[in-house]
Amino acid sequence: MVESMQPADGSIRKRVFIQASAATIYRALTDAKALSHWFCDKATSDPRVNGELTAYWRAGRTGTRGLALYRQLIPDALVDLLWVDDGRGASTAGATHCLVYTIAQKKNACEVVMEDRDSAVSDDETYAILDQGWNAVLNELKDYCESAERSLKIPPGR
């Protein structure tokens, strides 16, 4: 279940518990092949500070391309992205759209906190659509990571 946390600054903040290792979650957030299973249709990724993440989403006969720069990476703990092109045109100079994932190991699962910050504050209707959209995306991340984790486990007797 995805839990909404409502900051006063208009950003979207969500928390989800995922029954997978921090390494599996970090890989899902930074590996191009993994990203194409839960986040977008196709991706390229260079997970290092100032490396690029390019994501493609199909929409009928056309598609949308997004480009982000990794600002900070802490293996198995943090992925911080600055979206320089979120489908509205590239601009590294004025980019303010940040997406930050924090991963924390808990007893039986990892807590993942996602924060989507943008200086362009949305109206209430747009905010509600984005908020609900993130619920779906984070549930996809949860399903992907938990499935990936199960596939790593070898059943007894094998």
In a domain, 88, yes or no: yes
Q: Which domain holds residue 23?
A: 2-151
Predicted pLDDT at 46? 98
List residues bridging with 67 in a β-sheet. Answer: 54, 85
Tokens of 19: 């029954």
Predicted pLDDT at 42? 96
Predicted pLDDT at 87? 55
In a domain, 157, yes or no: no
Tens-level pLDDT at each residue, the chain (158 residues): 676 665 556 688 999 999 999 999 999 999 999 999 999 999 999 999 999 999 999 988 888 899 999 999 999 999 999 998 755 555 555 567 899 999 999 988 999 999 998 766 567 787 788 888 899 999 999 999 999 998 877 555 55
CATH of the domain at 74: 3.30.530.20
In a domain, 40, yes or no: yes
Give 62-88 pLDDT, tens digit per residue.
888 999 999 999 999 999 999 987 555
Q: How many domains does the chain have?
A: 1
Beta strands in 9-150 (DSSP E): 12-18, 42-45, 52-59, 62-74, 78-85, 97-105, 110-117
Predicted pLDDT at 156? 53
Query: Torsion over CA of 2, 141, 13 and 77, rounded to 10 degrees?
Result: 120
